[in-house]
Structure 1
Amino acid sequence: MGKIFAIVSTVLGSIIGAGFSTGQEIFYFFSQFKETSIFYVSFSSILILLILLYLLDIKVKSRVILKIFRAYILLFSIITLIVMFSAFGQLGEEFLGVSRYVFTLLCFVLSIAIFKHGLLAVVNINKVVVSILIITVGFVFLKSVYKNEIVFQIESLKYTLPKNIFQHIISPLLYSAYNSLLAFPVVNRLKERFHKEEIKLSIVISSILIFLLLSIINTLLLSKNNVQTSQMPLLKAEKSIFLQSILVACTFLEILTTVLANYMGLCYSIKNSKAEFVVITISLLLGFNQFQVLLRKLYSLMGYIGLSIIVMLILSTILSKDRRLK
């Protein structure tokens, strides 16, 4: 169970980044659907499960396709790093009143220091941070229910297909593709320390927890109209200074864990420490831009590219007997 907990925490830590722990990503991708959000949250959670299980086992023989996949992971890691650096700075400015440039640099320094200690350091920090975040979010939710501050948006489980079905389906597809590929380099590294069956079980558990967290946070955001214009809506949803402080601290740490996941993505794609450092430095400089603008524009873009990559991989493995990705 200790191994499963470590893997689950690490997989979740690679997905629960700035957009997730601040609520901005959930609001953008799911809350727009109001009372039917639960269907899209469910759809995304199932897709994340299926994509991660698929990526765990495949192998691509074609060098061209493998190079395209590595190039995507590289681009993906760079763009996510830019957003994470920006989020760390924005969080410091919004809640601590310190220049976001200072906190962006702090994120860079701390992440490099942690990453130098290897995969074990990443696993250990995730075990602590993910546990605290889950407990705190659950407590905030139950507290809001007890005080009748939660207005459940699901009036009925009856669902009719909307007229603009493409617009409704594309959001969960983009979210699933983006976050599955975000977790892939981490899952790939976990194979060095854990058995494949342990990782598969952990992916199943992680998907269930993602569904629960998405549902809880989405309900909180929909019930509190006053937070929906904030760049950090979840952090503004709790009035208690103590609980808000825990959420802010968790968000700082979750941003770091996502940065570490993307460092693994760079290692998977580049395999050259000097080139990796140059890429990280460029990402840092670009990360001085506004968090909300970066997240909304770049995440959707990478989601579309990610969908294309996943379709490409599926087609390549259908035509090949050997289905493992090196």
Structure 2
Amino acid sequence: MGRIFAIISSVLGSIIGAGFSTGQEIFYFFSQFKETSIFYISLSSILILLILLYLMDIKIKSRVILNIFRAYILLFSIITLIVMFSAFGQLGEEFLGVSRYIFTLLCFILSIAIFKHGLLAVVNINKVVVSILIITVSFIFLRSVHKNEIIFQFESLKYALPKNFFQHLTFPLLYSAYNSLLAFPVVNGLKERFHKEEIKLSIVISSILIFLLLNIINTILLSKSSIQNSQMPLLKAEKSVFFQFILVASAFLEILTTVLANYMGLCYSIKNSKVEFFVIIISLLLGFNQFQVLLRKLYSLMGYIGLGIIVMLSLSTLLSKDRMLK
């Protein structure tokens, strides 16, 4: 069970980043659909499960396709790093009143220090971060339910797909493609330390936890209209200073875990440590831009490219199977 928990934490830790922990990503991709959000969250969770299981077993035989895939992971890692560095700085400025430039640099220093200790250090910090997040969010949710501050999104839900469901499929598709590819380098790295069956079971459990966490956070956001204009709505959902402090501390740590996941993505795509460090420095400099603007523009862009990459890999797999049958 300890090994399973370590894998689950690593998978969740790579997905739970700035957008997730601050609520901005969930609000943008799901909360806008109000009581029908549960349909889109369900679809996204299922797609994340299927894509991760598919990527785990995939063997890319074509050198051209492999190079394209590595180039995407490289671009993906750079863009996500930029957003994460920006989020860390924005969080420090908004909640601690310190210049975001200082906190962006702090994110860089801490992440490099942790990553130098290898995969085990990444796994261990994820175990701590994911545990804190699940316990804190669950407690805030139950506390709000007890105080009758929560309006459940499924109170007015009709158990049938909304009429415009297929028009809005872009949102769950982008979300699942982006986050699955974000977790891929971590899952790929875990294959050297854990058995394949353990990783597959952990991916299934992780997908269930993602579904539960998305619904809990989404319900909190829908119930508190006053926080929806904030760049970090989830962190404004709790009035208690103590629990707000835990949420903010968790957000800092969760951003770090995603930065570490992207460092692993760079290692997958680049085999030269000096080039890796140069790319990280460029990402750091670009990360001084505004968090919300970066998240919404770059997230969707990478989601679209990610969908294309997944389709390309799927077609490549099908074609290679056809050749084998012949």
Could you tell me the TM-score, scaled by structure 1's length? Answer: 0.97
Partner residue of 2:33?
33
For each residue in 1:281-312, what CA deviation from the matched residue of structure 2 results, as whole angstroms up to 9, or x when unmatched? 00000000000000000000000000000000
Name the amino acid aligned to 1:263: Y
Q: Displacement, 1:208? A: 0.3
- In the alignment, is residue 239 of structure 1 matched against residue 262 of structure 2? no
Answer yes or no: is the 8 Å Cα contact 1:36–1:159 preserved in 2: no
- In the alignment, is residue 258 of structure 1 matched against residue 228 of structure 2? no
Name the amino acid aligned to 1:249: A
SS in structure 1 opposite 2:87? Answer: helix
For each residue in 1:237-271, what CA deviation from the matched residue of structure 2 results, as whole angstroms up to 9, or x when unmatched? 00000001001001000000000000000000011
CA distance in structure 2 between the partners assigned to 1:145 and 1:318 by the alignment: 48
Name the amino acid aligned to 1:216: I
Structure 2: runs of 5+ lacking an equivalent: none
- In the alignment, is residue 124 of structure 1 matched against residue 124 of structure 2? yes
Partner residue of 1:5?
5
Answer yes or no: is the 8 Å Cα contact 1:88–1:252 preserved in 2: yes
- In the alignment, is residue 169 of structure 1 matched against residue 169 of structure 2? yes
Name the amino acid aligned to 2:114: I
The answer to which of 252-261 and 312-321 deviates more is 312-321
Answer yes or no: is the 8 Å Cα contact 2:136–2:247 preserved in 1: yes
Answer yes or no: is the 8 Å Cα contact 2:85–2:104 preserved in 1: yes
- In the alignment, is residue 67 of structure 1 matched against residue 52 of structure 2? no
Answer yes or no: is the 8 Å Cα contact 1:86–1:287 preserved in 2: yes
- In the alignment, is residue 304 of structure 1 matched against residue 304 of structure 2? yes
CA distance in structure 1 between the partners assigned to 2:159 and 2:42 by the alignment: 15
CA distance in structure 1 between the partners assigned to 2:179 and 2:164 by the alignment: 27
SS in structure 1 opposite 2:150? Answer: coil
Change (3 A) 1:164 1:124: closer
CA distance in structure 2 between the partners assigned to 1:163 and 1:263 by the alignment: 39
Name the amino acid aligned to 2:173: L
Could you tell me the TM-score, scaled by structure 2's length? Answer: 0.97
CA distance in structure 1 between the partners assigned to 2:220 and 2:22 by the alignment: 12
CA distance in structure 2 between the partners assigned to 1:196 and 1:68 by the alignment: 25
Partner residue of 1:157?
158
- In the alignment, is residue 142 of structure 1 matched against residue 142 of structure 2? yes
CA distance in structure 2 between the partners assigned to 1:146 and 1:294 by the alignment: 37
Partner residue of 2:188?
188
SS in structure 1 opposite 2:320? Answer: coil
CA distance in structure 2 between the partners assigned to 1:160 and 1:302 by the alignment: 27
CA distance in structure 2 between the partners assigned to 1:221 and 1:244 by the alignment: 15
Name the amino acid aligned to 1:64: V
Name the amino acid aligned to 2:137: V
Partner residue of 2:133?
133
CA distance in structure 1 between the partners assigned to 2:180 and 2:112 by the alignment: 24
Answer yes or no: is the 8 Å Cα contact 1:80–1:262 preserved in 2: yes
Answer yes or no: is the 8 Å Cα contact 2:39–2:161 preserved in 1: no
Answer yes or no: is the 8 Å Cα contact 2:177–2:303 preserved in 1: yes
For each residue in 1:11-42, what CA deviation from the matched residue of structure 2 results, as whole angstroms up to 9, or x when unmatched? 00000000000000000000010010001000
Q: Displacement, 1:320? A: 1.4
Pairs within 5 Å for 1:87-102: 87-102=87-102
Change (3 A) 1:164 1:44: closer
Q: Displacement, 1:161? A: 4.2
Pairs within 5 Å for 1:202-221: 202-221=202-221
Name the amino acid aligned to 1:311: V
SS in structure 2 opposite 1:320? Answer: helix
CA distance in structure 1 between the partners assigned to 2:250 and 2:312 by the alignment: 36
CA distance in structure 2 between the partners assigned to 1:38 and 1:27 by the alignment: 13
Name the amino acid aligned to 2:305: I
CA distance in structure 1 between the partners assigned to 2:23 and 2:254 by the alignment: 13
Q: Displacement, 1:319? A: 1.2
Structure 1: runs of 5+ lacking an equivalent: none
Change (3 A) 1:276 1:36: same
CA distance in structure 1 between the partners assigned to 2:41 and 2:199 by the alignment: 23
Answer yes or no: is the 8 Å Cα contact 1:178–1:302 preserved in 2: yes
Answer yes or no: is the 8 Å Cα contact 2:36–2:162 preserved in 1: no
Q: Displacement, 1:160? A: 4.2
Q: Displacement, 1:112? A: 0.3
Name the amino acid aligned to 2:62: S
Deviant stretches of 4+, over 3 Å: none
Q: Displacement, 1:159? A: 2.6
CA distance in structure 1 between the partners assigned to 2:224 and 2:159 by the alignment: 24
Answer yes or no: is the 8 Å Cα contact 1:133–1:250 preserved in 2: yes
Partner residue of 2:319?
319
